[in-house]
Structure 1
């Protein structure tokens, strides 16, 4: 599916953000990402760190795939959208447990953050042409 220059630019920007976020998981934002691990998961520090490190690696791979796997951009966009859905419980946990991380130090800021997740999902789908692909597929 052909995408326009705005979609391609948005795809590359999202890929850069994902790569940077993944690097943050592994380095300078590791503790803040640990704070976002849902409280209903095991509380063992080694497990929490495993979740953060493994999700960071996945984010780096998604970021690089968004930038470089142009021939597979629809599949990558759909997979990234699914990933955004899967990590959403961490955002919900941050809100419901009143966890301060990433400058989200009030309930209002944490609540507003929840509404940004659908934006990321749509960004991944639109910028890769996956949104149009899925709509066309459902109309056939």
Structure 2
């Protein structure tokens, strides 16, 4: 029996989330000022935090768009990232 691909709603959701994450990550790098207000004052190195979170968002977004194998793992890692931030 042939393996059935990802359902259309899941595929659309994955593409939208991957695109959103990639664009949000680029936004962190291009214009970090709005994100500085979201970092608590007690948190060390807000500029570095914004930079690192932007890079992670870009990596996760690209992984959601490009990775064919390990999609479930990428999804769980992305969910974990959302819990942490």
> TM-score, normalising length from structure 1?
0.56
Q: Indicate the RMSD between aligned Cα atoms, in angstroms.
A: 1.4
Q: What's 1:6 paired with?
A: 9
Structure 1: gaps (5+ residues): 88-140
Using the TM superposition, give the Cα deviation of residue 85 of structure 1 relative to its aligned residue in structure 2, in angstroms: 0.3
Q: What does 1:32-47 correspond to in 2, within 5 Å?
A: 32-42=34-44, 47=45
Q: What's 1:22 paired with?
A: 25
Using the TM superposition, give the Cα deviation of residue 34 of structure 1 relative to its aligned residue in structure 2, in angstroms: 1.3
SS at structure 1 position matched to 2:69? helix
Structure 2: gaps (5+ residues): none
Distance 1:2 1:84 in 2: 26
Distance 2:42 2:14 in 1: 33
Q: What's 2:47 paired with?
A: 49
Q: Deviations over 1:63-115 (max 9, x none)?
A: 0000001211100000000000000xxxxxxxxxxxxxxxxxxxxxxxxxxxx
SS at structure 2 position matched to 1:23? helix
Bigger fraction of residues in helix = 1
Distance 1:27 1:33 in 2: 11
Distance 2:67 2:40 in 1: 31
Distance 2:20 2:47 in 1: 21
> TM-score, normalising length from structure 2?
0.89
Q: What does 1:100-139 correspond to in 2, within 5 Å?
A: none
Q: What does 1:22-101 correspond to in 2, within 5 Å?
A: 22-28=25-31, 30-42=32-44, 47-87=45-85
Moved over 6 A (4+): none
